[in-house]
């Protein structure tokens, strides 16, 4: 009986394939139960690494979000504190020569304080002689508002040039004073005495008006002059 060798090879191949299919699951099972690092072991390690990386990235993301939240909260609190500090009323307590201690607030100016400043300013501006004209001008400019400093200095220079070298002096005796803290104006009424040499040549009733500016707790002189009686708007002339 003759047997075809090609058929024998075909049957042998089929038998080997069947044996491989039967033995392959056992090999993989042995790799899982034993210590041989085969395909399943590598896949498990990669999966664990991915899980660990994901957890770590989530932890970093939470930390970043927390840091951003804290930074925004800190920035917000800084803005609130800065705004409150800028809008807060400034106060200063003064102890004048007369009466009780006086408190200044950036919100408004007390009537008593405006009266004290008006009294001293009127005595400064309305009493002068040829001997103290430079000192007189310097002291007035020291209490002047910087925004009106130029105009006020020009008016004072005109007075200094007119009276410098002369023997004409003047002094003012105050009789009445009114102040308006809201309008930041004040007026003094009294007698203006003019003296030439040693002789008084005139004594006239006059009203002088003072205009002020108030910034923070600083009161500055914006202008002053002889008030016109027929001027309801309170304009003044130097």
Residue-level pLDDT at 14: 56
- Domains of the chain, by residue range, sit at 106-237
Per residue in 180-199, pLDDT (tens digit) is: 999 999 999 999 999 998 89
pLDDT, greater one: 57 or 184: 184
pTM metric for this prediction: 0.58
CA distance 48 to 185: 84
Please state which CATH number belongs to domain 106-237: 3.10.450.230
Q: How many CB atoms lie within 10 A of CB 218?
A: 12
Asked if the model's pLDDT at residue 89 lies above 90, the reply is no
Please state the rounded mean pLDDT for residues 157-173. Answer: 91
Residue-level pLDDT at 237: 41
CA distance 163 to 156: 11
Percent of the chain residues past pLDDT 70, beyond the cut: 64
> Who contacts 14 (Cβ-Cβ below 8 Å, separation ≥6)?
none
CA distance 139 to 133: 10
């Amino acid at each position: 009986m003759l047997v075809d060798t090609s058929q024998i090879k075909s049957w042998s191949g089929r038998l080997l394939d069947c044996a491989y299919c039967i033995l392959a699951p056992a090999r993989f099972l042995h790799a899982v139960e034993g210590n041989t690092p085969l395909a399943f072991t590598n896949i498990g390690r990669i999966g664990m690494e991915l899980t660990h990386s994901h957890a770590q990235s989530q932890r970093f993301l939470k930390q970043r979000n927390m840091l951003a939240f804290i930074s925004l909260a800190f920035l917000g609190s800084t803005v609130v504190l800065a705004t409150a500090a800028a809008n807060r009323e400034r106060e200063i307590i003064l102890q004048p020569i007369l009466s009780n201690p006086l408190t200044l607030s950036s919100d408004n100016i007390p009537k008593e304080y405006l009266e004290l400043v008006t009294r001293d300013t009127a005595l400064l501006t309305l009493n002068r002689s040829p001997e103290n004209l430079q000192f007189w001008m310097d002291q007035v400019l020291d209490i002047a508002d910087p925004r009106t400093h130029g105009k006020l200095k020009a008016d004072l220079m005109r007075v200094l040039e007119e009276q410098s070298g002369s023997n004409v002096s003047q002094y003012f005796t105050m009789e009445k004073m009114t102040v308006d803290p809201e309008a930041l104006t004040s007026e003094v009424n009294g007698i203006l005495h003019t003296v030439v040499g040693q002789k008084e040549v005139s004594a006239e009733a006059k009203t002088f008006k003072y205009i002020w500016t108030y910034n923070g707790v600083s009161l500055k002189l914006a202008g002053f002059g002889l008030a016109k009686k027929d001027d309801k708007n309170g304009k003044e002339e130097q």
